[in-house]
């Protein structure tokens, strides 16, 4: 890993072999040439935020996607713009993927947008937010084209810490309201709906695993969830989070035998 910064510019490059965790004994994690992830990234600070782009390559000796099996060589391209101006904040990102898995060509894409407006002059500084996400799925089996977007090594808490669904073959819409009753406490409440881009492909969980029996079964409606989160800063070193999620399974999940689910998490972080 190497990076270089000068003025508004930052350049970075990574060559990696991801590690496979093991629990048999101490220090027994391993990596090998069967999996490689390399990329180069450039970022420039602009008025109100930053624009970044990267190009990367994922190489795996064996990969399986539905009816496609074989060596994976996937090129990844990403463009992102984040910033803040006055009460407005935004995070916009689009991704494209090309390459091959076995004898099939990869043609996948994704896009995400998160933004909000904070009313700073109003008690509790309420923020109205909106998040939308799209990620492609494989629309037709056996056609020599693989449309399933691979999120690579995703943040499992991107939607919620419950991590019910992953970032593949998905359409996601999430309005939210955040308030700050005190300088140390923030509370966020949201309702979200999820669909899959195509019912021919599966519904995916974390980190990138297809729910068995969902490909080609049921409709596009995946489900809806309510999300409540509170963050509290006790001091500069200690923070706490309480998060609750209720997921209402949609027709596509119920057709595969899944049901509703509830999640409650409590977390303390100490740093120095």
Nearest to 92 by CA among 77, 112, 109, 117: 112
| pLDDT, position 32 | 82
Q: Hey, which bits of the chain come out as E strands?
A: 2-6, 9-16, 35-46, 49-65, 68-85, 88-101, 104-118, 127-135, 145-146, 170-179, 185-195, 204-205, 209-210, 221-233, 238-249, 261-270
pTM for the structure as a whole:
0.91
User: Are 57 and 76 within 8 A, CB to CB?
Assistant: yes
> Considering the domain boundaries, does residue 71 fall inside one?
no
| Exposure string for 213-244, b = 16+ CB within 10 A, e = fewer | ebbebbebbbbebebebebeeeeeeebeeebb
Residue 30 pLDDT: 86
pLDDT tens per residue, range 71-116: 999 999 999 999 999 999 999 999 999 999 999 999 999 999 999 9
Q: Report residue 95 as tokens.
A: 């991704």
Per DSSP (E only), the strands in 102-147 are 104-118, 127-135, 145-146
Please choose, from the candidates 15, 11, 70, 63, the residue with its C-alpha nearest in 3D space to the C-alpha of residue 37.
Answer: 15
Rg of the chain in Å (alpha carbons)? 20
Structural domain span for residue 207: 79-270
**Is residue 98 assigned to a domain?**
yes
**What total number of domains does the chain contain?**
1
Residue 12 resides in a domain: no
- Taking the C-alpha atoms of residue 57 and residue 38, their distance in angstroms, rounded to an integer, is 5
For residue 95, the model assigns a pLDDT of 98
Contact predicate 220/199, CB 8 Å: yes
* Residue 116 belongs to some domain of the structure: yes
Supply 269's token pair: 């972080």
Residue 11 lies in a domain: no
DSSP state of 233: E
* pLDDT of amino acid 33: 82
Does a structural domain hold residue 66? no
- The encoded tokens of residue 142 equal 């056996």
What is the length of the chain? 272
Q: Domain for residue 184, yes or no?
A: yes
Report helix, strand or coil for 49. strand
What Cα–Cα distance (Å) separates residue 173 from each residue in 13, 100, 103, 198, 225? Answer: 33, 30, 34, 16, 11
Asked whether residue 62 is assigned to any structural domain, the reply reads no
Contact 147, 107 (CB under 8 A): yes
Question: Which regions in the chain score pLDDT beneath 50?
Answer: none
How far is it, in rounded angstroms, from Cα 209 to Cα 156?
12
* pLDDT for 16: 93
Q: What is the DSSP string of 154-203?
A: --TTSS-TT--S-SSSEEEEEEEEEE-SSSSEEEEEEEEEEE-S-TTSPP
Reported as a single tens digit per residue, the pLDDT across 41-75 is 999 999 889 999 999 999 999 999 988 999 999 99
């Amino acid at each position: 890993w190497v990076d270089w910064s000068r003025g508004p510019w930052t350049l970075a490059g990574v060559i990696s072999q991801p590690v496979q965790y093991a629990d048999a004994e101490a220090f027994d994690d391993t990596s090998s040439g069967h999996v490689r992830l390399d990329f180069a990234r450039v970022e420039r600070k602009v008025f109100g935020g930053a624009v970044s782009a990267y190009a990367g390559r994922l190489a795996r000796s064996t990969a399986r996607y539905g009816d496609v099996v074989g060596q994976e060589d996937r090129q990844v391209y990403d463009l992102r713009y984040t910033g803040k101006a006055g009460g407005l904040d935004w995070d916009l990102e689009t991704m494209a993927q090309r390459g091959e898995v076995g004898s099939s060509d990869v043609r996948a894409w994704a896009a995400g947008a998160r933004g909000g407006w904070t009313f700073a002059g109003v008690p509790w500084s309420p923020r109205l937010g909106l998040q939308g996400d799209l990620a492609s799925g494989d629309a037709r089996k056996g056609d020599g084209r693989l449309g399933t977007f691979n999120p690579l090594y995703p943040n499992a808490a991107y939607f919620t810490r419950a991590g019910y669904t992953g970032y593949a073959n998905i359409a996601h819409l999430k309005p939210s309201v955040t308030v700050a009753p005190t300088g140390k406490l923030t509370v966020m409440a949201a309702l979200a709906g999820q669909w899959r881009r195509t019912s021919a492909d599966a519904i995916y969980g974390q980190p990138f695993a297809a729910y068995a029996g969902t490909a080609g079964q049921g409709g596009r409606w995946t489900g809806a969830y309510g999300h409540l989160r509170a963050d509290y800063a006790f001091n500069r070193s200690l923070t706490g989070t309480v998060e609750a999620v209720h997921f209402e399974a949609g027709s596509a999940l119920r057709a595969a035998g899944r049901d509703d689910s509830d999640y409650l998490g409590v977390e303390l972080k100490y740093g120095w």
